Amino acid sequence: MQFSLTGTVQDLNFFNFSDSLNLKDVISNPDKQAVQNILGNLGKMKESGLITVSDSIVKITDKGKKLINSDLFKLASKGATDKAIGAVGAVPGAIIIAVKKVAETAASLIKK
């Protein structure tokens, strides 16, 4: 599964599908404008206490989890998440990141 980061607050939805984001995956993208937008947005989220960054790994905080689980955020994200998940091909101004957690969860369910 893939998730499209766009440099907006909607990028926080990524953490509905993964526990962490490796910044090396973002920085390695050749679309430097998209990288700059996403890193700027992540910086704002960090300043707001929504995420933490340690050793190039981004993780959501309890405050961030509370936000993405709020009815208002879900309403504002409606449709945007569907477009971001499973995006195929190049999306202008966006960086596609593979989401590992969903695949691991599906594999563990199959084993049961």
pLDDT tens digits, residue range 67-82?
998 888 888 776 554 5
State the pLDDT confidence band at 108, using cuts at 50, 70 and 90: low
For 19-29, b/e burial (b = at least 16 CB within 10 A) is ebbebeebeee
Amino acid, res. 95:
I
d(CA 73, CA 71): 6
Answer yes or no: is pLDDT of 53 > 60: yes
- State the pLDDT at residue 111: 57
Answer yes or no: is pLDDT of 51 > 90: yes
Mean pLDDT of 49-66: 95
- State the pLDDT at residue 80: 53
Give the chain's radius of gyration (CA, Å).
14
- Residue 8 near residue 41 (C-beta atoms within 8 A): yes
Q: Find, among 19, 24, 31, the residue nearest to 6 by Cα.
A: 31
